[in-house]
Chain A
Amino acid sequence: MSIQIHAVSQSFHGKTILKDINLTIEPNKIYGLLGRNGAGKSTLLNIISNRIFPSQGTVTLDEESMNDNDRTLGRIYLMSEVNLYSERAKLNKLFDTTALMYGSFNRKYANELADKFGLDLTSRFGKLSTGYRSIFKLIVALCVPADYIFLDEPVLGLDANHRELFYQELIETYSENPRTFVISTHLIEEIANLIEHVFVLDDHKIVINGSVPDILERAYTISGPDADVKQYTAGLNIIGEDHLGGITAHYVYGALADDRPIPDTVKLEHLDLQKLFINLTTEKKAAAHVS
C-alpha cells in the first residue's frame, strides 16, 4: 500500500533534471518535498501524476502502474503551480466537473472553505488573483476523494492570514480523514511542524529521505571560540559554517564522536529544518555530506 518511485530519471534537451530517484510514499503521512529552485521538484510531481513521462523508471501505486491508468490516477490529486483549469470556467462549475471526474467531492466542506477564505464561487477562474487561484486549487485538493494529495507550492501568493488558515484546515482535515499529503514548498519554517517525513532534492538526486525527528536528531549547530569548535568538529561531517568575530559556528549532520568531551566553551544545539536544508543545499554539494 504505497506509491513506489523506482529508478526515475528525467532529462530534457540533454540536461539532467532528475537522476535515479527511488522513493516510497506511504499512506496517511504528511511529507515535505524540499529543494532549491530548479531542483526538479515539480518535474518529479508531474511524473508521479503521469502528466509527463520519465526518461527512465516507473511509478506504481499499490503495484499498479501509474501510466495512463484511471484506477491509479483517480486516487491521486496534484495541485500544481501551473494552472490547468480553463480561464473561462466558473468556480462552481469546476467543483461540479471535479465531482463528475473523481466520482465524488466534499461539496459541503468546499463551500465552507470558500466562505472562510472569502472566495466567490460565481467568479471565473481567469478573473482570480494568483493568491485566490491558489486558494481555489487548495480547496479542491482538500475536498477531493483522493488517497494521495500532492501540493506544489500550495501557498503561492497567499497572505499570512490565509496561509495560517490553510495550515489549520490541513491539520483538521488530516485528523478527521487521514490520507497522504506531499507538500513541496520553499517556506520550510511554515511546514516544519506539519510534516512527518522529508525528502530533499539536490543536484538532481534525493539527498535526504527520512522522518523529520530522526533527521533533526542528527543535525547540530556547534558554536564557540574558533579554535575550540574546530578542535571538537575535526573529522565530523561539517555541512556549513558561520563566523562572527572570534565566534565560529559549525553545522554538522551525522553522528558526533561520543568519546570526545565537549569543551565548556562550546555550545551544542540541534539545527532546525530550514537551517539544515540551507546548509545541505548551498554551494558545496550536499551529497558529499549526507551519510
Chain B
Amino acid sequence: MSNKTWRLSRYLFKDQLFYLGWSYLTIILVETLLPFGASLLSGTASTFSWRSHLSGLGIGAIFAFFVFIFSLQTYEGFKLFIQNGISRRTYLRARLGNLGLMSLLGVVLAVINDFAISAPLLRVDVFGLLARGPYEMYAKFFGNNVFATVLIYMLFLWIFYLTVGLFGIAVSSLLDLTTKTVRRVIYIVVPILGIFLLGFVASNGNTSQASMGFVNFAKFLLGYRETLGLFNPFMPMLTMVVCSLIFGAIAYTFHLKLKIKN
C-alpha cells in the first residue's frame, strides 16, 4: 500500500470512527438509559435490570450494520476524492484498507463486549456466552480449548465484517452507475423476487428433491458434518472468503466506471 493510499485509508478510518462512536453512544442511550428512564416514570425502577440491558447491547451486530451502511456510501466518497485529484483505483484501495482496519476494530470491540462485559454480567464462561449467539453451532468445534475457540471466533467475525463491507461496496458501486429510475425498479423488484423464491422453496415442502438439495447445499456452506454432528467454522469462513473475492471483483469492476452525475 503506497503512502498516499495509507494516508487516505487513515482519513476514512478517522472519519468513520467518529460516526461509530456516536452510533454506539446512541445505542447505549436507547437500550439502557431510555428504558431506565421509562421504568423510573412507571415506578418499576426497583426491578430494572442493568445487567440484562448491558449484556444485550449487540455491539457486534451493530458493527456489521454500521460497516454495511458505510460501505454503501460509494458515491459520496467518490465525489470528494475525485474533486481532490484522487483516482478511482486509489479511492477503492483506500476504502479496502479502511475496511480492513475498521473490521479489526469491530472484532476487538465485539470480543471485549462479549467476554469482558456480557459474560461476567451473565455469569457464564466463553462457551456459555457463545452458545447464546449465532456462533453457537461452532462453539464446541475445538472442544474445551478456549484459546482456539476465541481465536477462530475472532477470525470468523473479521472475515464476516469484511464480507459484509465488500458486499456493500459491490452493491453500491453497481447501483451508483444506474439511473434513479433503474435503482427504484431494483429496490422494488429484488424484494419481490426474494419473496417469490422463499415462497417457491416453502411450497415445495421439505421432501422435494430441489428443496433437499438446497438444504444440503446450505448445510455444506455452513460447515455441517454429519459424521460428527457438529459444524465446522472453517467451511463458512471459506464460503465468505469466496464471496468476498466475488464481491471484490464486482466492486473493482464498477468502481473504475464511476462518474459524476449532473
Q: Report the minimal beta-carbon distance from A148 to chain B, rounded to whole angstroms.
A: 11
- A68/B89 in contact, CB under 8 A: yes
B-side interface residues, number (CB < 8 Å) = 22
- B85/A77 in contact, CB under 8 A: yes
**Is B87 part of the contact surface with A, judged by Cβ < 8 Å?**
yes
**Is A70 part of the contact surface with B, judged by Cβ < 8 Å?**
yes
26 A-B contact pairs sorted by A residue (CB < 8 Å): A46-B260, A49-B82, A50-B87, A51-B82, A51-B259, A52-B259, A68-B87, A68-B88, A68-B89, A70-B4, A70-B90, A73-B85, A76-B85, A82-B260, A84-B82, A84-B260, A85-B79, A86-B76, A97-B11, A100-B7, A101-B8, A101-B81, A101-B85, A101-B86, A102-B84, A102-B85
**Is A74 part of the contact surface with B, judged by Cβ < 8 Å?**
yes
How far, in angstroms, from A98 to B86 measured CA to CA in the complex?
11
**Is B42 part of the contact surface with A, judged by Cβ < 8 Å?**
no
Q: A146 — which chain B residues lie within 8 A by C-beta?
A: 85
Q: Report the minimal beta-carbon distance from A64 to chain B, rounded to whole angstroms.
A: 12
A36-52 interface (Cβ within 8 A of B): 46, 49-52
- B84/A101 in contact, CB under 8 A: yes
Residue of A at shortest CB range from B87? A68
Among A46, A69, A75, A85, point to the contact of B80 (Cβ < 8 A).
A85
- B85/A70 in contact, CB under 8 A: yes
A199-232 interface (Cβ within 8 A of B): none
Among A74, A84, A100, point to the contact of B79 (Cβ < 8 A).
A84
Q: B82 — which chain A residues lie within 8 A by C-beta?
A: 49-51, 73, 84
How many CB-defined contacts (below 8 Å) exist between A and B?
Answer: 58
- B84/A97 in contact, CB under 8 A: yes
Q: A84 — which chain B residues lie within 8 A by C-beta?
A: 79-80, 82-83, 260
Residue of A at shortest CB range from B86? A101
Q: Report the minimal beta-carbon distance from B72 to chain A, rounded to whole angstroms.
A: 15
How far, in angstroms, from A82 to B262 measured CA to CA in the complex?
7
**Is B256 part of the contact surface with A, judged by Cβ < 8 Å?**
yes
**Is A53 part of the contact surface with B, judged by Cβ < 8 Å?**
yes
| A52, A53, A101: most-surrounded residue (chain B CB, <10 A) | A101
Contact A98/B259 with A68-B89, A70-B90 known, Cβ cut-off 8 Å: no
B105-142 interface (Cβ within 8 A of A): none
Among B76, B83, B87, B262, point to the contact of A69 (Cβ < 8 A).
B87
Residue of A at shortest CB range from B83? A84
Binary CB contact string for chain A from 47 to 65 against chain B (1 if under 8 A, 0 otherwise): 0011111000000000000
9 closest cross-chain pairs (CB), A and B? A101-B84, A84-B79, A51-B260, A74-B85, A84-B83, A73-B85, A68-B87, A52-B259, A70-B87
Binary CB contact string for chain A from 95 to 109 against chain B (1 if under 8 A, 0 otherwise): 001101110000000
- B83/A85 in contact, CB under 8 A: yes
Q: Report the minimal beta-carbon distance from A59 to chain B, rounded to whole angstroms.
A: 14
Q: A52-B260, A73-B82, A84-B79 are in contact. List 8 more A-B contacts (CB 8 A).
A: A49-B82, A50-B82, A50-B87, A82-B260, A97-B11, A100-B11, A101-B8, A101-B84
Binary CB contact string for chain A from 229 to 248 against chain B (1 if under 8 A, 0 otherwise): 00000000000000000000
How far, in angstroms, from A85 to B78 measured CA to CA in the complex?
10
How far, in angstroms, from A102 to B11 measured CA to CA in the complex?
13
